[in-house]
A and B are shown apart, each in its own frame.
Chain A
Amino acid sequence: MLRRSRPFDEGDRYVLDSFLNQFWPATVDGLSLGAIYSLVALGYTMVYGVLRLINFAHSEVFMIGTFAALLTVELTGITSPLGTVPLIAFVLLLALVAGLVSGGTAVALEFVAYRPLRRRGASRLAALISAIGASLFLQQLFALVVIPWMFDRPKEGGRLPVQSADFVEPVNLFSIGPIDIRSDKLIIFVGAILMMVALDMFVNRTKLGRGIRATAQDPETAVLMGVNIDRIVTATFMLGGAMAGVAAALYLMRFEETEYFVGFLLGIKAFTAAVLGGIGNLRGALAGGMVLGLIEMYGSAAFGSEWRDVIAFSVLVLVLMFRPTGILGESLQQARA
């Protein structure tokens, strides 16, 4: 706000100074934020790869995951913050629960909102509308019914954020030069990378993974090979949903609160990350998420955090102008074995 009244050159120096001061912290924040984007982006990119459908309701799959994680925190009755080692174990539990709930939600969504349309040979546009509808439906269902019921609130309270118990005691684990590595951010980054490596191996090395790749590359020929497309689609939603659930558990650990609307902007960002990396491409989702997280944090450091979305989406448009297929381009359809 102050900057507007400054002379132009001084404003420039301010931008540079604040950027340099915050470069390393912004890098750490960018990578841990980017890791969450990447995990959520996997769900968009896998479903797109197999069905050429943008699953807009994936953001609500994430949202439901955050509530599953939050409820797990409540049920375990934790009231005091956990040190690093117990925290890791606890986050594993949260990730497991949220991963299962989100994966199940994604599969249910496919059964209710997409499969009947596919059966009737509906157009992709119809499926997209169904996806947007499902997204809004789930948001409002949580705001109007689930949250008031679950947390014993009056109806209006459904739209307010819900805090979890404070279960994280962030500590600086170590420093690399000027960079302080905080435990929660490191858990997010490492956890997300491990999940992505596991998924990548699953898709590239197992028979079901081979079926997923075949369906993405040529669904009709996949049927001629004896691939049951419905089963592949179910597995794809399950896997993508589970990744969003893990992301949701990590998100809850980092921010210790959630709300019915939590998936909206994060979902758009994750979708952006998927497009940025090359939609349909698993490794592209990783690259896109990290790049987007870093750009946002560097942008905030330089221009103030109110500019982060403007910067993020400007970069998206610029990248796509020069590389319409995204950073890695090559997609699940063509991905090497």
Chain B
Amino acid sequence: MLLEIQDIHVHYGKIAALKGITLEVDEGEIVTLIGANGAGKTTTLKTISGLRPLTSGRVRFNGDDISRMPGHKRVLVGIGQSPEGRGIFPGMTVEDNLYMGAYARSGDLSKELAEVYELFPRLAERKTQAGGTMSGGEQQMLAIGRALMARPKVLLLDEPSMGLAPKLVQQIFSIIVEINRRGTTVLLVEQNAQQALQIANRAYVLETGHVVKSAQAHALLDDPEVRAAYLGGGAGGEAAVAAAPAETSVPEAREAPDEE
């Protein structure tokens, strides 16, 4: 296992956000974590990245216990994250934001930079623009590209489709598949469950700090409970399905003009 989370409990002050979460991500997989607002998805990713301390439980990476490793060192061992809300440094240029992604590394970065620009041609056009003045879609690309600059073994993505128009959502998902195809393991947090389940190998469903289901992703697509709660199949039907054409075509979509 590349990443193993074993019965972790995490608190904000006295409030328990995670109440015993166990999950695993194997090398090469796309694993998705779905669940309603406040379920604990972001907290899980923050804990993996070392931004929140554990009350109990363990985080293992590549076989090593990293539960007490400070966050800034986890980047070097291979954990990259594109955080919720994107976390773009608003006053830095696109290129400086990308260089920030490789802050922990030293040496020549031209190869990484070229690869990110190849994956996101839009970023290459905007190199010198301030991150804060970019559109939501562009910022999301920047956040993912920045995380890739450190050559992570596992890429944690926190709601990359949040606030994006359907066409852009498509594009982001295609790129995630492409990143995975090139060898990066992905742990994807999404509220856009339909789309996430379509590209993932396996999925976990979180509810109020617990894992309530874990299964192959395609199995959850047909699960009546999951359909009712997260896929708009039940009483609370919403836009998730409408925004998601059944097929996700992979490498071509990347070339599509990326406008919002």
Interfacial chain B residues near A211, Cβ < 8 Å: 103
What distance in Å separates the Cβ of A228 from its nearest Cβ neighbour in chain B?
A: 5
Inter-chain contact A226/B83, CB cutoff 8 Å: no
Contact stretch, chosen from A51-59, A104-112, A188-196, A215-223: A215-223
In contact, B50 and A223 (Cβ under 8 angstroms): yes
The one of B70, B87, B99 in contact with A224, judged by C-beta atoms closer than 8 angstroms, is: B87
Decide if A217 touches B72 in the complex (CB within 8 Å): no
Known: A210-B103, A336-B130. A226 touches B91 (CB 8 A): no
Does A140 sit at the interface, judged by CB under 8 A?
no
Least Cβ distance of B63 to chain A in Å?
21
The distance from the CB of B123 to the nearest CB of chain A, in whole angstroms, is: 15
Check B81 against A224 for contact (C-beta < 8 Å): yes
Report A222-237 residues with CB < 8 Å from chain B CB.
222-229
Bound: A211/B96 CA distance, A? 11
Give every chain B residue within 8 A of A334 (Cβ-Cβ): 90-91, 132
Count A/B pairs, Cβ under 8 Å: 77
Inter-chain contact A333/B51, CB cutoff 8 Å: no
The docked-state distance in angstroms from the alpha carbon of A221 to that of B76 is: 15
Q: How many residues of B contact A (CB 8 A)?
A: 30
**Residue among B72, B73, B81, B146 with the highest chain A CB neighbour number at 10 A:** B72
Q: Which residues of A sit under 8 angstroms from B150, Cβ to Cβ?
A: 225-226
| Residues A213 and B72 in contact, CB atoms below 8 Å apart | no
Contacts of B83 in A (CB 8 A): 220-221, 224
With known contacts A214-B89, A225-B75, A228-B72, A220–B51 Cβ distance under 8 A: yes
B residues 42-100 in Cβ contact with A at 8 Å: 49-51, 70-73, 75-76, 80-81, 83, 87, 89-93, 96, 99-100
From A217, A222, A334, residue with most partner B Cβ within 10 Å: A217
Is the Cβ of B87 less than 8 Å from the Cβ of A337? no
A4 contacts chain B at the CB level, 8 A cutoff? no
A226 B103 Cβ-Cβ under 8 A: yes
Asked if A335 lies at the interface with its beta carbon under 8 angstroms from chain B, I say yes
- Residue contact B87 to A226, C-beta cutoff 8 Å: no
Q: Does A207 lie at the interface of the complex (its beta carbon under 8 Å from any beta carbon of B)?
A: yes
Chain A, range 299-337, C-beta contacts under 8 Å to B: 333-337
Contact pick for A229, options B72, B73, B76, CB 8 Å: B72
Q: B91 and A207: CB pair below 8 A?
A: no
* A337 adjacent to B75 (CB under 8 Å): no
A337→B51 contact, CB < 8 A: no
Contact A225 B92 (CB under 8 A): no
Do A225 and B146 touch (CB < 8 A)?
Answer: yes
A237 CB to closest chain B CB (Å) equals 18
Q: Scoring B residues 128 to 147 as 1 if CB is less than 8 Å from chain A, else 0, what string do you get?
A: 00101000000000000011
Are B91 and A336 interface neighbours, CB within 8 A? Answer: yes
Contacting residues, chain B, for A222 (C-beta < 8 A): 100
Q: CB-CB < 8 A to A336: which residues of B?
A: 91-92, 130
B104 in contact (CB, < 8 A): yes
Please state if A221 and B89 are interface contacts (CB–CB under 8 Å).
yes
The contact of B91 among A221, A223, A229, A333, by CB within 8 Å, is A333
For B104, the chain A residues whose CB sits under 8 A away are 225-227
Chain B: CB-nearest residue to A229: B72
Which residues from chain A contact B81 at a C-beta distance below 8 Å?
224
The answer on a CB contact under 8 Å between B91 and A337 is yes
Could you tell me if A224 and B91 are in contact, using CB atoms closer than 8 angstroms? no
Beta-carbon contact of B72 and A226 below 8 Å: yes
B101 at interface, CB cutoff 8 A: yes
Q: Quick one: which of A225, A334, A337 has the most chain B CB within 10 A? A: A225
Are the CB atoms of A217 and B103 closer together than 8 Å? no
Q: Name the A residues within 8 Å of B89 (CB-CB).
A: 213-214, 217-218, 221
- In the bound complex, what is the Cα–Cα distance between A151 and B100 (angstroms)? 50
- Please pick, from B72, B80, B92, B147, the residue contacting A223 in the complex, using a CB distance under 8 A: B72
What is the chain B residue whose CB lies nearest that of A224? B81
Contact B91 A217 (CB under 8 A): yes
Chain A interface (Cβ within 8 Å of chain B)? 207, 210-211, 213-214, 217-218, 220-229, 333-337
9 closest cross-chain pairs (CB), A and B? A226-B104, A221-B87, A226-B75, A223-B71, A334-B91, A225-B103, A228-B72, A217-B89, A337-B96
24 contacts between A and B (CB under 8 A): A213-B89, A213-B91, A213-B92, A214-B100, A218-B89, A220-B51, A221-B89, A223-B50, A223-B72, A224-B80, A224-B81, A224-B83, A224-B87, A224-B147, A225-B75, A225-B100, A226-B73, A226-B76, A226-B150, A227-B100, A333-B91, A334-B90, A334-B91, A337-B91
* A-B contacts besides A214-B103, A224-B51, A334-B91, 19 pairs, CB < 8 Å: A207-B103, A213-B89, A218-B87, A220-B51, A221-B83, A221-B89, A224-B80, A224-B81, A225-B75, A225-B100, A225-B101, A225-B146, A226-B72, A227-B72, A227-B103, A333-B90, A334-B132, A335-B91, A337-B96
